[in-house]
Structure 1
């Protein structure tokens, strides 16, 4: 087990579990937590195939710890705003890296979401490939209520899932989305009763692990890039991936 401020990483064979562990403040996130998440990505064992992200207690994550917004010292918004523009942007890029490693082509990431996933919490769930939501889950891109924009790599993922128009409405209003709507518009992979969250997530992980690892990696790459390819380019990508699989399975890919 590896621990950081407010977050821990546990690995069991091909499954790594990242847990936000500040339940007393509803797993509100801080820059120190994002640093720990980046560090986890660098120390992930090579045999890990699935990463589960969860929140301890009754809520996945209530978003940014608002003390960061109101403080004036190191790591605060005030300190960030005083930096030269390029340095400020570089610092935000470091924050984004705490989320974008969950897009890695060699893993499938699963968010197990209960209670609220607000702002940074919503973006962390969006960073994952799949989302298991409890029936009482509520999602919100609430940055607009602080006069901010979503900047933790969540906007592109949201547009990919629900389209531009709906993504604009979600981000510009900051409204709450319940689990039923999340399921209807494509934000949820599964919606389950709160008591079934762990079991449903475990079942999904087991199903992912049942497939050939290299085939799953190729499938993820095909699907992740499909929206940016023409039909002809996508068909070519399918052909090339299948050639690699055939050669590998017949021992000719060495």
Structure 2
């Protein structure tokens, strides 16, 4: 893929190995800074998933996962396509609909049928942190740090980050991280539950590969049903979750014994 092809595709490239789809932010010279084209490209990847994809690995090329918004996005010039100045001058409903489309580039990472894994090295700031948080699992290199600085810039995290952070670390810690905009380094991220594992930078790729192998070794139907239960447990009350477990298990048992 040429440089111009990558730019036209939001600096997002994909590769496929059987049931594993790897999505790479490929703008290393800009620390994988994101633009609206990035989010459109990510949403398109999500929309194109087929039933055979079981695991999605999300990674950044080079030394950083993603340093967040491209600098051009901060322009007050309303003519800057997708910039904050343009969004601030649009009618509220139109601006919200545009952000809704941007959020679609993040939400698909928890689509039914897949498990998503973020491989995070270096900086994951703002939109970069929210992209890592959008995944089901995170493997961090020991040089990684996550930051949500939006509030310190007079903004808010609006790319699905508040809900995913809250699920992972709870109310008071999410509040503190969002309002201070401070860096959460790899060791703390693991202690808080933001990272499933932290490894030396040189071991990041191999560790992700081992995790992917373990995820794809589980029978596909059981894997997908279990992932669905874990996701529903976040919001279901105990009675609803118990019912969901019963229904899912009966389907598994029927398939195992050759029932309906």
- What TM-score does the superposition give when structure 2 sets the normalisation length? 0.94
Matches of residues 207-246 of structure 1 in structure 2 within 5 Å?
207-246=214-253
**Unaligned regions of 5+ residues in structure 2, if any?**
none
Task: Please state how far the C-alpha of 1:44 moved relative to its aligned partner.
Answer: 2.2
Of 149, 155, 165, 1:158 maps to 165
Kindly provide the CA deviation profile for residues 20-45 of structure 1, in whole angstroms up to 9, marking residues without a partner as x.
Answer: 01111100100011111111112223
> What count of residue pairs does the alignment treat as equivalent?
253
Identify unmatched segments of 5+ residues in structure 1.
none
RMSD, aligned CA: 1.3
Trace 1:28-39 onto structure 2 (pairs within 5 A): 28-39=33-44
Residue in 2 that maps onto 1:100: 107
Name the residue aligned to 2:55: 50
- Equivalent residue, structure 2, for 1:248: 255
- Deviations, residues 211-234 of structure 1 (Å, cap 9, x unaligned): 011111111111111132222222
The answer on whether the counterparts of 2:149 and 2:182 sit within 8 Å (CA) in structure 1 is: yes
Query: Offset at 1:252?
Result: 1.7
Counterpart for residue 32 of structure 2: 27
Question: Equivalents in 2 of 1:70, 1:232: separation in Å?
Answer: 50
- SS of the residue corresponding to residue 18 of structure 1 reads strand
Q: State the Cα distance separating 1:71 from its structure 2 match.
A: 5.4
Is 2:56 the counterpart of 1:17?
A: no
TM-score in terms of structure 1 length: 0.96
- Counterpart in 2 of 1:62? 67
Deviations 1:80-118 (A, max 9, x none): 111111111000000000000001011000000000100
What's the CA shift string for 1:97-143, capped at 9, x where partnerless? 00000010110000000001000000000000000001111110111
Matched residue of 1:252: which SS? Answer: coil
Any idea what SS the aligned residue of 2:234 has?
A: helix
C-alpha distance in structure 2 between counterparts of 1:56 and 1:71, whole Å? 29
Matched, 1:91 2:98: yes
2:11 equivalent among 6, 20, 25: 6
- Kept in 1, the 8 Å contact 2:19–2:54? The answer is yes
CA distance in 2, matches of 1:71, 1:124: 25
Rounded to whole Å, the distance in 2 between the matches of 1:227 and 1:29 is: 29
